[in-house]
Amino acid sequence: MTTHRRNELLSDAAVVDWRRVDTVVLDMDGTLLDLHFDDFFWGEYLPRCFAEREGLDLASARRRMRPWFEAVEGTLDWYCLDHWQQRLGLDLLALKRQVADRIAVLPHVPEFLARVNASGRRLVLATNAHPASLELKLARTGIGEYFDRLISSHEFGAAKESSLFWQRLCQREAVDAGRTLFVDDSPRVLRSARDFGVGQVLAMCAPDSIGTRREVSGFTGIDDFRAITCLLPGQTPARDGERN
């Protein structure tokens, strides 16, 4: 590694004060897993399947679907396979399985998860994905083994865009929001977490392996987990005033 690159990583790592982190909460799609799968499924494959079912061309199918998605964006229905199965008349889980070979872990994720485990901090996956989607992706990637708790927002009855999600997460899981690190790629979700009082919030700027890197305005961003892994202490987290 060049001196310049090492200094760059060390500088990035300083954005997390690990002395003030007891719990690490991570988004799944676009943070741990390549968002390319979801972008392809929702943007290409599902409209194509709907077009075939309805006897439409692809452009017409997308025009018909667009207001349905816009009406529920940011709500739990946006992420709900049951909702879309009823609306579109398609078995979404079966369709996801047809293209599940596209599900992939983003670079440097396993190393980061292992280091968090070794540090003694609690590790929680918090996703808006429907439980059936979560199960499919965990089976394909094996990342579930690293986590102390796997949470779909559907079990809380509120999407991560809502303060109610964070309230229920902290209550049910005994999470101290102020001593939590949260990483996500969605600006709306990041704002919700910050507004609730999550202590440290980071944006994932490269959620799609074939997409364009994007800055998330108002948030410190990382391209991958190397930026915050290199100074992660390999021991139980220290309280304020203590040193790791």
pLDDT, tens digit, 9 for 90 and up, residues 173-229: 999 999 999 999 999 999 999 999 999 999 999 999 998 888 888 999 999 999 898
Q: Do residue 49 and residue 89 come from a single domain?
A: yes
Q: Do residue 97 and residue 79 come from a single domain?
A: yes
Q: Do residue 169 and residue 112 come from a single domain?
A: yes
Q: Do residue 196 and residue 121 come from a single domain?
A: yes
Whether 234 is covered by a domain: the verdict is: no
**pLDDT at site 216:** 87
Q: What is the pTM of this model?
A: 0.89
**pLDDT at site 185:** 96
How many structural domains does the chain have?
2
Q: Do residue 125 and residue 76 come from a single domain?
A: no
Domain of residue 91, residue span = 37-101
**pLDDT at site 9:** 40
Q: CA–CA separation, 238 vs 82, rounded Å? A: 43
Q: Do residue 97 and residue 215 come from a single domain?
A: no
Q: Do residue 46 and residue 149 come from a single domain?
A: no
Whether 201 is covered by a domain: the verdict is: yes
Select from 101, 125, 154 the last residue of a domain: 101
**pLDDT at site 219:** 93
Q: CA–CA separation, 104 vs 40, rounded Å? A: 13
Q: Do residue 114 and residue 81 come from a single domain?
A: no
**pLDDT at site 14:** 54
Q: Do residue 112 and residue 135 come from a single domain?
A: yes
Whether 184 is covered by a domain: the verdict is: yes
Q: Do residue 134 and residue 49 come from a single domain?
A: no
Assign 148 to helix, strand or coil: coil
Instruction: Name residues of the chain where pLDDT drops below 50.
Output: 1-13, 236-244
Helix then strand count (H, E) for the chain reads 11, 6
Residue 162 DSSP code? S
**pLDDT at site 234:** 66
Whether 241 is covered by a domain: the verdict is: no
Select from 69, 101, 133 the last residue of a domain: 101
The CA–CA distances, whole Å, from 227 to 138, 204, 224 equal 24, 11, 6
What is the sign, positive or negative, of the torsion defined by CA atoms of 209, 17, 176, 118? positive
